[in-house]
Amino acid sequence: MQNAINKDFGMSLGYQMCYRARMKAKKLAQGSYEDQYNLLESYVHELKKRNPGTSVWIQTELDGEIVRFKRIYICIASLKMGWREGCRLYIGLDGCHLKTVHKGQLLSTVGIEGNNGIYPIAWVIVEAESRESWTWFLEFLKADLDIHHSGHYTFMSDKQKGLEQAIKELFPDASHRHCVRHLHNNFKTDEHTGLELKQKLWAVARSCTMNTFMEAMEDLKNSSLSGWQYWCLDRPAIHWSKSHFDHKFKWDVSGLPCGHAIAAIYSKGMTSDDFVDAFYSKDMYMKAYEPIMHPITGAKEWEKINKPIAPPLYRRQPWRPKTARTKEPGEVVPPPGLTKLPKVYYSQVSCGICKQKGHNKRTCLNRNQAQAQQNVQPQAADPM
């Protein structure tokens, strides 16, 4: 912004003046944060009006005589109906930080439909991730999804703060599994890096029998004694290795017969298609997306509800705020001068001449040099 003003008008402005001007323009175009929070009740009314059966709950707290926002829960009617009718009995849980002025955290739940696609169910905005906030979220989720007997359900998550205790309290009979991808990130943080250890950790997680589990653990032990002793043994395998899952869960987690079951099915003269879970059928897939989510109108068309809600108090975090995302262990660092990896890094095209990614041999800079070398024919030696 400073450079643009200097180029167009020949004026030199300070950073703070440009920042204040930008915030003022943004407020005129989008409104203030206070105005957005005051529209919450009208937004909830419009959302329920357009999508009957939608669950929205707002929790506030008193700051003297001021009503301040604390949490909000949203589960749209079409999503909970579609999940109940056409998705597997699987619920994934995760959370992330919000980068707005008033911070907070977004917690969400997703399911898996018949095509292995992610199916959103519900989400909340809370002040922080804790056992109390997860319990508050899951209580509403349990009621919306009509879960009375949790023995048939599976929850998948990272090891979030307070989440494991909340699941045990509200869904005592459900299976709770940990995401191995996140476990591997923690594995790398403890200085167990490298492709070899990654593959051996995944081999332990994918083991389907106790014999293969013991063999994979022994293989990991030979490569990293500390990774085997102080990491794998300290984490109950029942949460992350298939070998420790009960047989019913092994079927529920995929809905597909394993290789041993397929061999037995064929030996009996039957087809494995008859033993695939019904959630993979076209009818179940269509049921998941049959309920319609109706859009809402613009804010000017909403019914005015005079229930002002003030934004939460801004709590400045200690130390200087971060300006860049914390990189995962082993993550590729962008080249100097760039904030993210270039597109050629993700390209699967590779050159047949220089063997590098991001281009083919037709656009290779070394193409002319390679052709010149091919056109040079070895000269015959002069006869003596």
Q: What is the pLDDT of residues 153-202, one digit of tens each?
A: 989 988 777 898 999 999 999 888 888 888 888 787 777 888 888 888 88
Q: Are 303 and 46 in contact (CB under 8 A)?
A: yes
Round to whole Å and give the CA distance between 300 and 252.
47
Q: Are residues 70 and 165 in the same domain?
A: yes
Q: Are 283 and 23 in contact (CB under 8 A)?
A: no
Round to whole Å and give the CA distance between 142 and 150.
10
* Within-domain flag for 301: yes
Task: List the chain residues with pLDDT less than 70.
Answer: 247-254, 317, 328-330, 344-348, 368, 370-384
Q: Which domain holds residue 84?
A: 32-178+278-314
Round to whole Å and give the CA distance between 299 and 307.
16
pTM of the model: 0.76
Instruction: Report the first-to-last Cα separation within the chain, whole angstroms.
Output: 78
Q: Are residues 23 and 12 in the same domain?
A: yes
Q: Which helix (H) or strand (E) holds 218?
A: helix 210-223
* Within-domain flag for 342: no
Q: Are residues 20 and 134 in the same domain?
A: no
* Within-domain flag for 331: no
Question: For residue 58, which phi and psi values (nearest 5 degrees)?
Answer: -115, 130
Q: Are residues 103 and 201 in the same domain?
A: no
Q: Are residues 54 and 96 in the same domain?
A: yes
When divided into structural domains, the chain yields a total of: 3
Q: Are residues 62 and 129 in the same domain?
A: yes
pLDDT at 384: 46
Q: Are residues 248 and 297 in the same domain?
A: no
* Within-domain flag for 115: yes
For the residues of 267-319, what is the DSSP string, one character each? HTT--GGGGS-GGGSHHHHHHHT-S--PPP--GGGSPP-----BPPPP-PPSS
Q: Are residues 192 and 86 in the same domain?
A: no
Q: Are residues 242 and 288 in the same domain?
A: no
Q: Are residues 290 and 307 in the same domain?
A: yes
Round to whole Å and give the CA distance between 320 and 323.
9
* Within-domain flag for 149: yes
Q: Are residues 61 and 86 in the same domain?
A: yes
Ramachandran region, residue 27 (left: φ > 0; alpha: ψ -120 to 50; beta: rest): alpha
* Within-domain flag for 377: no
Residues in the chain, total: 384
* Within-domain flag for 369: no
Q: Are residues 193 and 99 in the same domain?
A: no
Using alpha carbons, select from 189, 163, 190 the residue that is nearest to residue 176. 163
Here the contacts of 219-225 (C-beta below 8 Å, separation 24 or greater) are: 223/196, 223/197, 224/192, 224/197
* Within-domain flag for 144: yes
Structure token digits, residue 150: 């949790």
Q: Are 138 and 71 in contact (CB under 8 A)?
A: no
pLDDT at 346: 67
Round to whole Å and give the CA distance between 223 and 225.
7
Ramachandran region, residue 125 (left: φ > 0; alpha: ψ -120 to 50; beta: rest): beta
pLDDT at 92: 93
Using alpha carbons, select from 185, 187, 71 the residue that is nearest to residue 137. 71
pLDDT at 353: 83
Amino acid at 87: C
Q: Are 177 and 158 in contact (CB under 8 A)?
A: no
pLDDT at 35: 86
